[in-house]
Each structure stands twice: as structure tokens, then as C-alpha cells.
Structure 1
Amino acid sequence: MIGLLALQGMTTTSCSDWLNLMPNDGVPLDEFWKTKEDVRSVVNGAYLSMTANELVQRLFLYGEWRADMITTGRRTNSSIVSVFNGEISIDNTYLDWASFYQTINICNTILKFAPTAQANDPTFSEAQLKEYEGQAIAIRSLMYFYLVRTFGDVPFIREAYVNGSQQMSVAKSSEKEILAGLVADLEMVETGNYLPGQYSSTDIAQNKGRMTMWAVKALLADIYLWQEEYEKCNRKCDEIIGSGQLLLVPVESRKIEVENTEEGTTDIYYAPDQSSYYSLFQQIYYQGNSMESIFELQFATDNLNPFYSLMSSGRGVIGVKTERVNSDIFPPLADEAYSGECFDIRSVISQSKSCLWKYIGVEPNGSERAQEEYTNNFIIYRLAEIYLMKAEALTQMAILDSDNQELLKEAYAAVKVIRDRSTAVATTDIGQTEGSYSGKAMEEFVLAERGRELIFEGKRWFDVLRQAKRNNYDGENLNYLMTLAEYSAPASKVNSLKAKYRNYHSHYLPIYSEEIDANPLLEQNEFYAN
């Protein structure tokens, strides 16, 4: 049930001794919430709960499952395959959102009882209380943002469940209401200076694995983009980019000039330095917590991530849709004579051997991780995405202003920062018409660039849905999902999937059947109600 008791029902692992400090049913709460250390232990528990296999699998699947870049792996999982086929049953166990609400309830518990601990502990300062509260609000907001993008309207619970006598059934709140609540909470945390920019000058994992003010700004920018609040999104992106606190991992390249005798011009290509983009892979995807990281879920040898069983070459149930990725997402350089040395590094970094190499590789084109090496983090936000959020916001601002060319040029400049780092090939660049940009073409270009930069990072379905639903599915926006259907489903299922997508309610997943059975106030999402 969604009304999970405060922190019961969680299994203890070698790195979760904090659970022993938690109040259980029948233990007086005032025996626990005594000191700032008690609060800190529960905040640590909130972060730990986000690394639960059930939750991390869903963070990935909800963002990629129905999109166009992954398919079945070496082994078959019927619950995953059915969604690839466009067939979504309310009994599919991956629809179970309990892990999200478990984390939410931990955050609600912190917000309810942390002031009690502060009142009991004279060394517990107001600034420390705000820091813990700010982290709880930010984590809770992130969980709800995933839920509303995936399910639409969901129960919006702000009360802590701490014993079995409480009312556990809660009706759904509207997506619009929830998002407004999240924005209000996050803006309060931001303007109230609840959180620091960093927690440690020496421990980078503390700064990348905890909610900082930069993580809050990134989350706000993302929500603003979903709400179509483009000027607010752009301002938030500028604050992050302009802070100087985050830097893109650099990649060196070699310029190659080729005389085009037929056109009388000089073609310019860029060949990436191998050691340089290997280093990028190591910093961002193998080691994690890179200089461009904003927030990542942290894993370690005693708390492995779930990607071995999900993605490994031998046991994984998910693989790369190679034809789509190699032909459409990363088409080669048009000049075949140079395509071997001049390529988009992301095509090599992201995939190999039909596997999602970002998650399972030791280095590009190299060996695969052993099972005990699945310690890589799960990235929620990094600086490259902020540039692309900015580009999307600027593009929509330009479209609303009759294709304002200055804004479109600024949008292209933001994308170009990412493309230049990746030695993206001209084949995927945007064209101009009589020296000017088309707003619609820039919109499609930014979406395609997000597909390349953030490939397999749990973003794709949300990105495409955001384009489709813009301005209440205005004009031909639904075509974004229709195109996605052509690549995401088997040929025999494409027409039926397109028919489903014409019903806007199908764009959100159904509520898990067991939740419906357990909560009499919960109504099934409209498309799946019968």
C-alpha cells in the first residue's frame, strides 16, 4: 500500500545500520528524536532508500521503457517485453510504485519530527535543521516529479505515516496541483538558503550524492520545462552554468581540413583524441561524481547497483536497439574516407556489443565489468543536460516570439557547446534557410541532441512526451509520439500502438492493480479503467 509505515518493511543491508535507530511500531517516538545525530541518520536513510534496486530499476525503465533506443537483452523478462510490444497490463509488477512512496514517507517523517529533535538538542542549530529539511523536501520533490511524469495524477502525500492506526487510503491529486506544490516547496528551499552549494571540500561524493542548491536549481529547471515556464527554466539554467562551480569534462580533438574540389570549399572535420574521450568515460560513467555531475545516486561494493541483472551481456534483459541507434541517432560522417577517425564520441561511449555500455563497460570498446564491479552511480542531473534544457527553453521562447532569431542563435550556441565536446558530425547538425533558423527545426534538433547526449540515462520517454504534450498537444505535436511508435514497437504492433497514442490518457502508465485493490479511494487511470 502507498501508506507505508514510516520506516518499517525495509530490509537491512551491510551499509544500512541506521535502520536500527528507527522507531518501530510500539516504540515511543520521543525516545528516538532526541538529537541532530538521530535526524542525520534518517536523512542518510532517505538517500539509501533511493538506491534500492526496485526504485533504481524504475527510474531507468520509466524514462526508457516506451522509447526507441532499448530492446530485449540476452534473457527474456515477460513484464518488460510486454511494454516493448505496447501491451501494458495493470498487473505488471514494474508498475508498483511502493519504492517511491517509501522514500517519500521517510522524507515526510523527517519533516514531521526533525523540529522535535532540535527542540531536544541545544547543539542542533536552526541552520542544521533547515539543511536537513531542505534535503528531505528536495528528495521528496524528485520522487513526485518522476511519479507525475509517469502516472499523471497520483496521491500527493505530505503526512508521515508512523503507525498502523493512521488512515492509509488517499485519493489522487492532479498533476497540475502536485507540480505547483513541488515548485512552491523548492522555491522556498532555494530562496531560504536551506542548502549549501557543497558539503565538503575533500569528499566529492558528499557534494554529488546529496541534494545541494545546484541540485535544487536543476530540478526546478526541469519542472519549469515540463510546466512550459520557459523563461523561468532559462534563468535557472543560467544560474547553474554561470556559477562556475560545475565544468564539462573536456575532450581534445584534432582538426582536419579537406579540400572539396567540386564545391570549391574546405570541409572541416574533428577527430577525437582517444585517451581524452576514454578519460571522459572513466570520469562520468565508471568512477562517477565527475566535475560536471550535479546529483547522482551513490553505489559501492557493499551496495551494488541493479544493472548487472538488467543490462549485462550474459544475464541482462535489456539491450540496445542497434539499428535505430547506429543509423538514426548516430549516423556516420558523410565522407566515408574520414568516418573511421571522425565520429561522435557518444556513439562509442554509450553502447558496445549491443549492450548499454555506459552502465556495464570498464572503458569504451573494452572489457565488461565483473558482477562485483557494478558500483557505478546512477546520474540524475549533470551539467550537459542543463545546457540542453536551456536550449529547449530558448527555442520555445523564440517560437512564441515569431521565431526570434537572436533567441534561436542563443539556443544553437548552447547545443554547440555539447556538440563540440562530443565531436558531433555534420550529418546531425541543423541547417539554415536563407541564413536564418526555423523554430520548429530547432525544436527537433534540440530533442535529437538530447537523445544523443543523454542516451540510456532515463530521459528519452519524458523528453518525447514533453514535446508531444506541449501547449495541450497543439498542432502536429502528437507526431513526436507517432514517430516514436514506429521505432519502439515491433512492426506488427506499430499501428495498434499509434492508435493508443491518439488517446492522450494512454501516455501515462496505469496504476498497479494491487494498489487499486488496497486503496478504495484510488481510481484507475482513465485509459486503463475498463
Structure 2
Amino acid sequence: MKKTAYLLLSVLCFGLVSCEDYLDTDSASYLSPDIVYNSIAYTDQAILGIYAQLPQDQIYGSRLQFTYGSGSDCDTYGTSNPTDTKNSGLANYNGTSDNTAISKEWDAIYKTIEMASVAIDGIRNSELLKSGTVDEQAQMREYLGEALTLRALLYFEVVRNFGDVPFKDEPTNSDGSNIYLPATDRDEIYEHIIADAEEAAGYLPWLESSANVERVSKGFAYGLAARMSLACAGYSMRNLPGFPLKTPDFSVQKSYYERALKNCNAIIKDPNNPHGLEDTFAKVFDNQTQQKYGEKSEDLFEVGLGLGLSGEVGYTSGVRFYQSAIYGRNNSVQVVTNAYYLYSFDRDDMRRDVTIAPYNYNKSGTEKEEMFSNLYEFTFAKWDVRNLKAYITQNKEATNKLMTGINWCIMRYSDVLLMAAEANVWLAENGGDGNLGEARAYVKEVRRRNFSDALQATKVDAYVDNASDLMQVIKDERMFEFGGEAIRKFDLIRWGELSQKVAEYRTTLKQMYAGEYEITLPELVYFKYNSDGSTIDKSSVDYFGENGVPEGVEGKDWDSVNWFKKKDTDIAKASDKIDAILGGLDKVYYCRHLFPIHESTISSSQGKLSNSYGF
């Protein structure tokens, strides 16, 4: 994958300390906006300066996708100390207003929003935009589209994590008159940022090649507008008496489903749409890990990260491995999944083994991997840095934590298809212009690559066509497709199902341990190693114990791991542990999924801000 954006960003702007410094380069140091935005070159540097903020730990280097983006029935941020309020506590819904991590995220995001607003204002007032050559005007409109999209994306992150927040669509005034602002109702914010993304889509080109996947394009702007529309149409905790979970009024809700569908269709039905699905699910994540860009342009936008510079994909979320001569320093996987998620998959769905790693690299330092027997702390297999040779080479010599540099993908084309399917079904069921035939076709398109040819008729066509609840099929499909990608939590929130699904997950895990699950689960799981003697042959693993004890066990052709051994002490211990996972979700108010504003932000707001939602 060609890192055109990030390589330039790291030289120009990464790690800057104030929004005034974003043009501090040899060619454009401290130039006034009327100079910067009347130069194509300087404007390009200013836009790259916005992108340069995204790889920070506090934005997409780690925090937004892992700490803030996990906390559902299929991905949690650690379970070793689920009552902690400082670290994993944020992802376990135990955040408190004195947690300095919150202020770091808030400040980093708002700083970047300010940079985008400066650029938007500068471009809109640019003479190049108004009276430049045709090519110059087109290029300036493209830059405007990028700034609008990035600002919308970051406001979206603030709103869905904090609720009603300060909002302005202009840069800070020189007299400071618009610095101290009260919180704005999120519906007003959504309306503005959705419109911004839609406007931006009209200015941006389609993704042309791997060279610009790290810059936003037409498809992503439309996709972001659709994602925000669905969020606005859905449930969220409101700053009203009792802090209820509410959707907008029905007419408003319907209008946003219509808007989501319109924006998805603007991608799917455009003859110039370059996006499609990779032939296999595994290829999507192999491409991301190997720093390649797929032939089908499945990824709409990736945050450009750099090996040794930024990014914890494969380190904080990925296959866990321990220090050894083979891989070097251990990683520190925090984002985990569980047996509930594993057994939710259709056993023939190829996504299961691409998504879930119930194994880790052996602590003993031998070359074999072992099955991971902690059934509520499986890891995610989508990003396996053991397959990233450049990382492993450096990691063997590293004395400290090494950033993987694997890009973070904000949106894939499968998400667009499933959002369109969801909007079609909702509208069809609620008196709108929804097309159930298209909805089924989109679900089938996503599902088809994940089942063998022999199973297409039953597991794809009949499964979708005969579904009595097509919306539930879509919801399930999103769970199978996006595990570990910081999507599931926010889906459950907007469907009003977060608490329900977390409770279901806890109950089911405890039933599994107690031998009360709907099917009998094996006490031992048998498996083989591949010919390398190190990696597990996934096709040999029988998670259901239906094949009995395989021949050759005594001859060491097979290995086994304790699975659901029924010991009373283990069951009690597991039950307590499971109850504590995501324990803060319902501690005070029903489904409090929002975070508090940091006390320092409140104290410096001149009385304009205060915490709500029971904080």
C-alpha cells in the first residue's frame, strides 16, 4: 500500500502542539489564510495537516477504535480488572470525569476540528475558488470536500461518545467571542454534519487507486453521511429527566432512513462506483496487515499510519503472542472476544476463523501455538502482525513498544451494502419507499463469499429469501462481518439493544460453563498442527465435539485443549468474572453508553458546560 499521505504527514505536521502551528514548514511557515488558501500547494499542505492529526493515539492511533469503540457482546477491552475506572474502565462503562484520558481525546479531536474549520473558511473565501482557472477551482473544491468530510467525521465521534457537545461551524474568532459555548443538541449537530458530508461528496472524486485511500473520496463521504443518518435515526441516551433512550419523532426518524438509503444508493448505483467486495473475507485483512490495497477497492477510507510511528492494530487488537526469538517483543492485546461470539457464527461461515483467534503464541517460547482456554478472552485474528515481516524484523530488535503502522479502516464497502439493506427494510416496514428485493440482494452479496459453492443455495439464497425477520438477519450479518472493527457497539446503541445483548451474552456464557447451553459443548477440543508444526490447521478443529475422539490421538497426530470442563469451582469463578464484564453499563442508569466530560474542561468553560446522564 502506497503511503503517500502519511509519509508526507509525518514530515510536515505529526504531533503538533497548537492549531496555529499546522503550517509550520519551510515553505509555508505562519502564513496568513489569505496567502495559504490562494495557493494550491499551501492549501494541500494545510489539508494534509488535518490528516496528520488522525494518527495520534488519542484519535485513530488507538483510542477511538479500541478504548471507545469496543464494549459490546462481541468485543470488549480487557476483562482483567473490569471495575477499573482509569484504563479499561472507559470501555467497561466505568469512566469518571477525573479520568485524564477523556480530556486528551476531547482536546485532540477539537483541535483537529478547529484546523478543519480554518481550512473550510479559508477555502470558501479563496479567490482561487471563486475566480481561478477551471482546474484550480476544481482542485480547491476537492480540498473543501476533504476538510468538510474530516470535520464531520470528528464531530460524529464526539457526539456518539459524549452526546450533546459544543458545536460551531466556523473557526475561532480572533476576539475569542465563540470559544466558550454551551452544548448543542445532537440532532442539530447531526443535521449540520450530514449536510456537510453530502456537500463534500459533490466535490470529491471517486477513489482512483491505492495512492489515495488515505484521503477521503466521494464514496466515503456518501458512506459517512449514511452512517451518521442511521445514528441520528436511532436510539441514544438523552439529556432529559431520567436520561431515557430515545429516537427522534417518527417523521424525523423516517426522513433519516430515507437519507441513509439515498446516500448508500449514490455509491451502489453510480456506474462509476469503483468499490466492490474482495473475493474472500480473509483477503480484506491480509491486505490491511500486509499494507496492500485490494483489487476490488473494498476499503473506502483508511487512516494512514506508519511502522514504528503510530498505530496499534495488531498490537492492542490482534493475535496475542509472547516474547520469543521468533517474533521479538510481545504485543499487549486488550481487545478481546469470547466463546459466545464464536458459537454465534454458522459453523460453515468462513468469517469465524478469520475473525476469532482462540489461540495465542505459547508463553514457553517454543515454536508451537496453543489453543487459548480462557473462553471469555479470545482475541481477534483479523490483524496478525506475525505475518507482517517488516514489523517482526524490527520487533526482534525493539527494546520498547513498537507501533505496527497497520492502517485503520474507517469504512468498508460491505458496510455500505448492509446499511442500504437495513434502510430498505426499515422503510418497507414503516410505510416508506423501501425495496425488499434490493435488501435481500445486498445481504446475499455480503454473505456469498463466506460460504462454499456447495452451500450457496442453502446458506445464502434460502437463508435470506426464507427469513421471517429480514431485519434481524441484517443485524446478525453486521455482527458476523464487523467484529472487532469498532462498529458493533454503536450498532447496538442505535438499535436500542446494547444492554439486552450484553445481558444475553453474559447469560449464554454462564450457561456454556454450567453445561446448560442449548447444545452440549465438548470438554476437550481436538486439533492438528499444520505441516510447519507451529500453526493450527483450522479445518481440523471440532468446536462441537461431534466427531468424538479422533483416531491417532495416542500417536500424537492430534492435540487437545481443555474446553468446557465442568468443575463447580471453575463455574462459580467464571460466573463472577462474566458478571463483571462491562459491569458499568447498567450501574446507575439504563444503558449509559456515553462518557462524562472531563472536570478540567468543565472548569475552564466559564460555566457553559456541565456533566449530565447521571455523571
TM-score range, shorter chain: 0.7 to 0.9
**Cα distance in structure 2, aligned partners of 1:100 and 1:378:** 17
AA partner of residue 39 (structure 2): T
1:468-519 Cα offsets, whole Å, 9 max, x none, are 18xxxxxxx9735654676899444479756448536x23221122211221
What TM-score comes out, normalization by structure 1 length? 0.75
1:67-466 aligned within 5 A: 67-71=72-76, 78=84, 79-96=86-103, 97-115=106-124, 118=127, 125-161=136-172, 167-190=178-201, 193-198=202-207, 203-206=209-212, 208-228=213-233, 229-243=256-270, 244-251=273-280, 279-290=283-294, 291-301=297-307, 303-307=309-313, 310-311=316-317, 313=320, 314-328=330-344, 330=345, 332-333=347-348, 343-351=349-357, 353=360, 354-363=378-387, 371=395, 374-401=404-431, 407-423=435-451, 437-438=467-468, 441-466=469-494
Bigger relative contact order, structure 1 or 2 (CA pairs below 8 A, ≥6 apart) = 1
1:4-43 Cα offsets, whole Å, 9 max, x none, are xxx998159xxx986566665xx76556555221111010
**Cα distance in structure 2, aligned partners of 1:8 and 1:288:** 23
Distance 1:369 1:85, change over 3 A: farther
Distance 1:430 1:28, change over 3 A: closer
**Cα distance in structure 1, aligned partners of 2:478 and 2:351:** 14
Structure 2 match to 1:53: 57
What TM-score comes out, normalization by structure 2 length? 0.65
User: How far is 1:144 from its partner?
Assistant: 1.0
User: How far is 1:173 from its partner?
Assistant: 0.5
**Cα distance in structure 1, aligned partners of 2:125 and 2:287:** 41
1:325-379 Cα offsets, whole Å, 9 max, x none, are 2223x3535xxxxxxxxx4234324535333332343559xx9796467122111
Does the CA contact (< 8 Å) of 2:72 and 2:502 recur in 1? no
**Cα distance in structure 1, aligned partners of 2:461 and 2:608:** 46
Distance 1:279 1:9, change over 3 A: closer
**Cα distance in structure 1, aligned partners of 2:121 and 2:335:** 43
Q: Secondary structure at the match of 2:183?
A: coil
AA partner of residue 95 (structure 1): I
Does the CA contact (< 8 Å) of 2:167 and 2:189 recur in 1? yes
Structure 1 match to 2:594: 508
**Cα distance in structure 2, aligned partners of 1:62 and 1:22:** 36
Structure 2 match to 1:479: 500
**Cα distance in structure 1, aligned partners of 2:142 and 2:56:** 24
1:42 is aligned, of 41, 46, 55, to: 46
Does the CA contact (< 8 Å) of 1:50 and 1:297 recur in 2? yes
**Cα distance in structure 2, aligned partners of 1:455 and 1:369:** 29
User: How far is 1:234 from its partner?
Assistant: 2.1
AA partner of residue 341 (structure 2): V
Does the CA contact (< 8 Å) of 1:170 and 1:522 recur in 2? yes
Does the CA contact (< 8 Å) of 2:128 and 2:137 recur in 1? no
1:64-109 Cα offsets, whole Å, 9 max, x none, are 3321233455997953332454422112233231121121111111
Does the CA contact (< 8 Å) of 2:312 and 2:405 recur in 1? no
Does the CA contact (< 8 Å) of 1:482 and 1:501 recur in 2? no
1:172-230 Cα offsets, whole Å, 9 max, x none, are 1111000111122233333xx311114x5xx5231x11121111111111122223322
Does the CA contact (< 8 Å) of 2:305 and 2:405 recur in 1? yes
AA partner of residue 51 (structure 1): P
Query: What is the CA RMSD across the aligned residues, in angstroms?
Result: 3.9
Does the CA contact (< 8 Å) of 1:62 and 1:150 recur in 2? no
Distance 1:520 1:133, change over 3 A: same
Does the CA contact (< 8 Å) of 1:74 and 1:315 recur in 2? no
**Cα distance in structure 2, aligned partners of 1:454 and 1:369:** 30
**Cα distance in structure 2, aligned partners of 1:315 and 1:74:** 17
Does the CA contact (< 8 Å) of 2:333 and 2:379 recur in 1? no
Aligned positions, number: 462
**Cα distance in structure 2, aligned partners of 1:327 and 1:119:** 58
Distance 1:415 1:518, change over 3 A: same
AA partner of residue 380 (structure 1): I
User: Which has the greater radius of gyration?
Assistant: 2
Identity %: 22
**Cα distance in structure 1, aligned partners of 2:175 and 2:332:** 39
Does the CA contact (< 8 Å) of 1:221 and 1:236 recur in 2? yes
**Cα distance in structure 2, aligned partners of 1:157 and 1:29:** 19
Structure 2 match to 1:264: none
User: How far is 1:246 from its partner?
Assistant: 1.1
The structure in which a higher percent of residues are helix is 1
Distance 1:19 1:316, change over 3 A: farther
**Cα distance in structure 1, aligned partners of 2:57 and 2:508:** 28
- Bigger mean CA offset, 376-385 vs 510-519: 510-519
**Cα distance in structure 2, aligned partners of 1:311 and 1:100:** 22
User: How far is 1:422 from its partner?
Assistant: 1.6
1:428-457 Cα offsets, whole Å, 9 max, x none, are 989989x8643xx33222122111111111
Q: List gaps (5 residues or longer) in structure 2.
A: 1-12, 234-255, 321-329, 361-377, 396-401, 510-575
Distance 1:483 1:113, change over 3 A: same
**Cα distance in structure 1, aligned partners of 2:503 and 2:437:** 29
Q: Secondary structure at the match of 1:526?
A: coil
